[in-house]
Amino acid sequence: MQGQGYYFGVKGGMTLGVQKWNSFERDPLIKYHGIAFIESLDDTGQFSLFAQAGFHQKGSAIRNRNFFDRNGNLFRPSYEFIFNNISLTVGGKKKHWLSDKMRAHYMFGLRGDYTIGTNLDEYEAFNERNGGLFFPVDFFVRKLNFGLMFGGGLEFDLSEFVGAVIDFTVNPDVSYQYKQPEIRNVYNPLTMGNRTIQERTIRNLTFQISVGFRFLRKIEYID
């Protein structure tokens, strides 16, 4: 008798997103993610290949900053810049047995993202009042991106066919989520003159903690 099969499951949890803008400092964005995955079954339980697809909210925020309107009035708003991405990741996982029912693992993967939407249209009126493109706009969002995933976690066997998993991953983008070229001679209603808007580039970086369940699909062949 020979046994083969694979694991599959779902997991989700909190996403801490940060972005580096080449204009001014950002604050973290705290959102969520959900993932479905499939993983190969290794006889030794020490290595596996995996593929996973999921929904991830990435971005950044502005909190507790001082802004002044055209009349010189101080206000301290809170803004969130959200990019809703579908991610596909493939990679490998190395495991170490801690007991007969628990394993630690570390993993590495290559990731591709597709942006299905943003909330940037909420700031169109703000941009118009402040000379245009103060905040990012949808026109310069890059829909396709790629990056890396690496991290580690724990697996627990609850029964022969059901287990639990806890993962912590770091997910840096290699490509730009947003790329806006330099724009000259933009009218500024605050100064009643023209100005140059500098090039703006944005990359995503997320830290994620995920909790979920994994299920064994076992296939046995009898000679």
Q: Among 65-69, 124-128, 213-217, whose mean pLDDT is lowest?
A: 65-69
Name every residue whose Cβ is closer than 8 Å to that of residue 73 and which is 6 or more positions away in sequence. Answer: none
Beta pairing partners, 205: 18, 172
CATH for the 2-221 domain, from 3.30.930.10, 3.90.180.10, 1.10.10.10, 2.40.160.20: 2.40.160.20
Q: What is the CA radius of gyration of the chain?
A: 23
> CA-CA distance, 75 to 116, in Å (whole number)?
32
> pLDDT tens digit string along 2-51?
447 899 999 999 999 999 887 667 899 999 999 999 999 887 778 999 99
> CA-CA distance, 83 to 59, in Å (whole number)?
6
Count of CB atoms situated within 10 Å of the CB of 218: 13
- Residue spans of the domains in the chain: they are 2-221
> CA-CA distance, 35 to 13, in Å (whole number)?
9
> CA-CA distance, 123 to 4, in Å (whole number)?
53
> pLDDT tens digit string along 54-100?
999 999 998 866 666 556 666 667 889 999 999 999 999 999 999 98
